[in-house]
Amino acid sequence: MYIIFVAPAGIVSKSTTANIGMDLLRQVEGIKFGPDAVTWQALVSELQEAKELFLLADGGETYHIMSALTCVCSEFGNFLNPSDREMVDALVSLWDGQIGIWTKLTKTQGNNLIENPWLNVLACTTPEWIAGNFPDSIIGGGFTSRCIFIYAEKKRHLTAYVDSEVPADFEEVQLKLIQDLGHISVTVIGEYKLSVAARAFGEVWYEMHYANPPEGLIGEKFSGYLARKQTHIHKLAMVLAASEHDKLLIEEHHLTQAADYVQDLEADMPKVFSKIGTNYNQREIKALLYYICTKGEVSNVDLYAKVLTKFKYKDYQEAMDSAAGMGFIRRIERAGKIFYAKGTVPFD
C-alpha cells in the first residue's frame, strides 16, 4: 500500500501521525524498514536484501519466499523524485505485489531479481509540493492511482499541550498493540479467502461501481484510481481482518467497512488531484495573490519583480487584470504608481 498524508505545512502534524504507528511497528521483530531517502537502484537493492523464507500456517511444510519492505518518509520529496521515470516505473510495477520474480534491468549491474516483492510506503507531503513536482505523466503512468491520499486542511482538535490528552493507560495500550502486531506477523500467514457473503457483496459492489461512478471523481485524473479502487478496498479488508482475528478469511463486514473507509477519503481527493498537473503560471499567479492578501497592499513594481524571470510583462498584466476583474484583488493608482490590494472575493 502507498499511503500519502497531504496537508498544508504547519497545519496538521503529518510526520507525528505517521511516526505514532511506525514507532510501534519498529518494535516488532522481523519487520524490515527501508531508508526514507532512496534512489530506485538503492530501493531494489534493499528489497533484495530483505528476502526471507518462512513457513506457511497451513499445518504442512510449505515454505514461501518474500522480499518485504516498509518505507516511512516524513518528506515524500526525499523518497520520490517524480522526474525520475525509472523510479516511478519501479514503484508502479511493485505496487501489485505479484507472486514470482520481479526483474529490473540496470546498465551496470545487469538484471536485478527480486522474489515476491512486497513494498509498503507511508509518506507525508504538502499540496504545494505536489503542485510543484507532479507532472501529468505521473497520472498517465498510473502512479497516483496506486496511492491512497489522506488529506486534511485544518486541525481536528485544538490541543496546546498534548500531554494533557494522554490517557492514563497509554503505555499499557501501546504494549498490547505491539504484542498484537507481533502476534499477527508470526500467526496470520498465508493466502486470504473471501467468505461466501463477502464475495456476494463484492460482486454487487463491482457492478454498482462501474454503473454509478462517484460524481466528483469523473475525468481522466481519476480514471486510473477508479479502476484500482477494488484493489485498494480488498487490501484494506485484509488489514481489517488481520486486526480482528487469526483466520485467513475476509468476512462481509470487513469488505463493507473497507469500502466505506476508502469512499470517505474521496470527498477530499479533488483537492489533492486538482493541484497535480496544474499549469506552472497558474501556480505562480496564485502565489502572488496569496502574497497580496498577506501583505495587504503591494506595489506593481515589487510584485512583478517576484516573477520577472517567469513571466512576460504582458502575460503578467493580463493575469492581474483578470484577478482584479474577478474581485480577488483591487487595482489602486496612487501618485502615478500602481498598487494591488486584497479584493472582496476569497479564492482557493
Q: What is the pLDDT of residues 235-254, one digit of tens each?
A: 999 999 999 999 999 999 99
CB burial of residue 273 (10 Å; 0-12, 13-18, 19+): buried
CATH number, position 317 = 1.10.10.10
CATH code of the domain covering residue 113: 3.40.50
Residue bearing cell 517567469: 310
Task: Inform me whether the pLDDT recorded for 22 exceeds 80.
Answer: yes
- For residues 204 and 148, membership in a common domain is answered with no
Residues 18 and 153 in one domain: yes
With respect to residue 185, please indicate whether it lies within any of the assigned structural domains.
no
pLDDT number for residue 41 = 83
User: Is 186 a member of any domain?
Assistant: no
pLDDT computed for residue 274 by the predictor: 62
Confidence of residue 307 (pLDDT cuts 50, 70, 90): confident
The domain boundary residue, chosen from 167, 183, 210: 167
Whether residue 42 is found in the same domain as residue 74:
yes
**Tell me, what amino acid is at 196?**
V
Mean pLDDT across 293-312: 86
Residue 58 lies in a domain: yes
Asked if pLDDT for residue 278 goes beyond 70, the answer is: no
Q: What is the DSSP string of 267-291?
A: GGHHHHHTTTT--HHHHHHHHHHHH
Mean pLDDT of the 224-230 span: 91
Q: Which residues contact 160 (CB under 8 A, 6 or more apart)?
A: none
Question: How much of the chain, in percent, has pLDDT values that exceed 90?
Answer: 41
Percent of the chain with pLDDT over 70: 92
**What are the residues facing 66 on neighbouring strands?**
52
What is the extent of the structural domain holding 7?
1-167
Domain assignment present for residue 26? The answer is yes
Average pLDDT over residues 24-45: 87
Note whether 158 and 268 are same-domain residues.
Answer: no
Q: What is the mean pLDDT of residues 109-123?
A: 85
Decide: 71 and 122 in contact? Cβ < 8 Å.
yes
CB 136 within 8 A of CB 280: no
Rounded Cα distance between 108 and 41, Å, is 11
Same structural domain for residues 162 and 272? no
- Give me the pLDDT at residue 298, please: 92
Q: What is the pLDDT of residues 153-178, one digit of tens each?
A: 888 888 888 888 889 999 999 999 99
| Tally of domains in the chain | 3
Name the more confident of 107 and 259.
259
Identify the pLDDT of residue 102. Answer: 86
CA 16, chain centre distance (Å)? 16
